[in-house]
Amino acid sequence: MRPLEQILTIAHKEVREILTNKGLVFSGIFFAAWFSIMTGMGIMEEETGRQAQLNNSLFYMGALIGLFVGYIYSGQTYLREKQSGIVETLLCAPVSLRSIWIGKALGVALPSYLLSLLAAVTITLVAGARSAEALHPSTTVVFHLVVVMPIFITAAVALMGFAQLMLGMRENMVVNMLTIMILFAALAATRLIVEDAEFVTWLAVGGLAGASIALLVITSLLGRFLSRERIVRTIS
């Protein structure tokens, strides 16, 4: 089996396992729906600035919601398999370690990205319903949602997966707690940024795109340090 076929097979397996886990699906949908509805309701009712706040909300909250959902799902994909010992069986399969890592990352990133898009649609609909007029994102924000955001979410999930594979169980618990604290702090900071910012520019979209590609490159380089022996030693 070719590397691409291995990656797609593993990604399909991860997506299927996520979708068949009702509790996991509910947690992702609940988180995305809750924050998207709250964000949509927080858009100003005054006509001036309403469109700008919608664009800012979609730009920041869409990426953060996808990131947090990816964090929730990656815990199931990486940590649970290490806790249950399933990863040992998977490491013995005739599949490259890099294919396992990338396949799992794609399997987590896909539903996370779809939920972030659902959150963006929900924010737009709620904001439009409260303003009694049809609101729609700008071209820059649409480009961000369709092109930049999947790269950002995939890179972030792959980085989290790398850490969860390489770190021991105790270290992962600390990393998980720190990640939750950082993400919630980022959500709070994002709210302040949305309130203060005036509009989303191509410069902002390009900056995030560059940062996402850089994160993807760095994560890819880190993949060279993946080791089956190292992963097995961190299972205990």
Express each pLDDT in 155-177 by its tens digit: 888 888 887 777 766 776 676 66
Q: By three-state DSSP, how is residue 85 classified?
A: coil
Say yes or no to pLDDT of 185 above 80: no
The number of beta carbons lying within 10 Å of the beta carbon of residue 168 is: 14
Calpha distance 142→7 (Å, rounded): 28
Segment 47-70 shows an average pLDDT of 81
Task: Please report where in the chains the tokens 């947690």 appear, as a residue.
Answer: 27
Residue 190, pLDDT score: 54
Split at pLDDT 50, 70, 90, the class of 106 is very high
Provide the number of structural domains found in the chain. Answer: 1
Domain span at residue 156? Answer: 3-233
Nearest residue to 165 (alpha-carbon basis) of 94, 230, 86: 230
23 or 194: which carries more pLDDT confidence?
23
Segment 87-107 shows an average pLDDT of 79
Q: Report the phi/psi class of residue 151: left, alpha or beta, with left for phi > 0 and alpha for psi in -120 to 50.
A: alpha
Calpha distance 101→220 (Å, rounded): 10
Percent of the chain with pLDDT over 70: 78
Say yes or no to pLDDT of 232 above 80: no
Split at pLDDT 50, 70, 90, the class of 57 is confident
Residue 187, pLDDT score: 55
